[in-house]
Structure 1
Amino acid sequence: MSQVKLLFQKYSSPQCILCGEQGILTREHKFKHAVLKNSFGDEKLRLGSKESFFEGKSKSIQSTSAKSLKFNTQICLPCNSSRTQPGDRQFDKLIEFLIDAEKEGLSPNSVFETKDFQVGSEGRINLLRYFAKLLCNFLSDANYPVPLRLSEFAICRSDDNCLKIGVEKMLIMHN
């Protein structure tokens, strides 16, 4: 087996892009469905580049469950549930904290000073697992091989973290 094969893996349907197993496959949302639903409710959404919005050429999306809001690549049911749930739950906590921080005028990065998100904490590791899962999906969707270190970290088969994160304020535009 070549050294490159040991570092990267490229799975294709009907295999899960995280573990390589076959089975019931699902498509992951590019943006967490609950966040989209809480942010936009039943409001019609539009998708496109900044330029397409200004030119009036953005695409209308019928709901927060639309296929265009999901990755094309697929992950198996165990990877989309039990294997990645700690990361999903910690991301939910992050969003909740950031909403509260904005209301209170706190820096978004203050989240990383709390015990649930401090460097080395289980919560921080689980949050990084969530972003590792997303990064694996983005890489696979772009037809790139996924680093095994990243996918195994995402599904809790390894504690070998290779990510670093921070949060900054963003300007959000509404129609």
Structure 2
Amino acid sequence: MSDNVTLCWICKKNAATTREHRIKHSDLRSIFGKFGRGLPFYYSDLQQPNQLVQSLNARLLKAPALICQDCNSARTQPHDRAWEHMSMWLRFRSMPLHIGGRVRGDKIFKYNAQKEMLNVHLFFLKLFGGMICEAAGGLPIPIEPFAEAIMANRFHREVYLQFGKGDGTVGILPAQAITLPGGHVIFIWMYRIGPVVVNVIYAQNGEYWENLDKTWHPKWGKTNFRVADLMGPR
């Protein structure tokens, strides 16, 4: 393989030729429907506000970090499907989410709930890994454990998820560093899709974070979680 070919950050074997949506395509389609009808859609980021979006496959809706076709389809397809199912279930359940309420994973996934919740965890590992790769100044987070977890279909010990009620907005809030009183640093970013928000937390040696009990992690062997208040300033 040519020295000029960029290798996929996940498998480190195949040429990286495909881009992943920042917000999953099925989430965007579910919320916005088909483009080209009615009001125009705009995308804003830290570099440029109000960029006209012509299609759900527009380049600006995809992350710059490249992965290979195999990792973007066959390898991570179960992770994508698990999140697509969970996303739809949370947004369209008969009783809207309420802050502090408990949600059971075996209600979301009637079969193999632990496996499917692990797949959701792995879906966010893929997005997080791409975010680490594309960070201009670099995030001081090692990428190797993310790739190893996806390749081995197992969890990353230091990445936690928090599922919460959102304010109706759609987008990604980039990773921010938070320094804890003891000097330890955690990184948090948000995936917002209307009434549902996922807080993704990288907490090295997570036991130092006092809010750990408000998150969910597959290593705890549970599929249930409490709905967090992630609606932002009000």
1:64 and 2:56 aligned: yes
Q: Specify which of 132, 145, 161 is matched with residue 156 of structure 2.
A: 161
Kindly provide the amino acid, as one letter, of the partner of residue 168 in structure 1: G
Once the two structures are superposed, residues 116-175 of structure 1 have per-residue CA deviations (whole angstroms, 9 ceiling, x without a partner) of 39xx811111110000000001111114375211112123x252422211211111259x
Q: 1:8-27, aligned counterparts within 5 Å?
A: 14-23=6-15, 25-27=17-19
Counterpart residue number, 1:84: 76
Q: Given that residues 132 and 143 in structure 2 are in contact (C-alpha distance below 8 angstroms), is that contact kept between their aligned partners in structure 1? A: no
> 1 CA distance for matches of 2:20 and 2:114?
26
Matched residue SS, 2:147:
helix
1:114 and 2:105 correspond: yes
Q: What amino acid is the match of 1:34?
A: S
Residues 140 and 104 from structure 1, CA distance in 2 versus in 1: closer, same or farther, beyond 3 angstroms? same
Cα RMSD of the aligned pairs, angstroms, is 2.8
Q: Secondary structure at the match of 2:42?
A: strand
**More strand by proportion, 1 or 2?**
2
Q: Residues 109 and 138 from structure 1, CA distance in 2 versus in 1: closer, same or farther, beyond 3 angstroms?
A: farther
Identity, in percent, stands at 23
Aligned residues: 154
What is the deviation of 1:31? 0.6
Query: Per the alignment, in what secondary structure is the counterpart of residue 22 of structure 1?
Result: coil
8 Å CA contact 1:109, 1:166 repeated in 2: no
| Residue number in structure 2 paired with 1:28 | 20
Over 3 Å counting, the alpha-carbon distance change for 1:72 and 1:153 in structure 2 is same
Secondary structure in 2 aligned to 1:60? strand
The answer (yes or no) to whether the contact 2:121–2:155 under 8 Å persists in 1 is no
Distance apart, 1:23 and its partner CA: 3.1
Bigger RCO (CA 8 Å, 6+ sep):
1
Tell me the equivalent position of 1:9.
Answer: none
* Cα distance in 1 between the residues matched to 2:133 and 2:21: 14
Change (3 A) 1:89 1:158: closer
Q: 1:170 aligns with which of 166, 169, 175?
A: 166
Give the TM-score, by structure 1 length.
0.75
Cα distance in 1 between the residues matched to 2:100 and 2:62: 28
The structure carrying a bigger helix percent of its residues is 1
Structure 1 pair 82–58 and aligned structure 2 pair: CA distance change class (3 A): same
5+ residue gaps, structure 2: 171-234
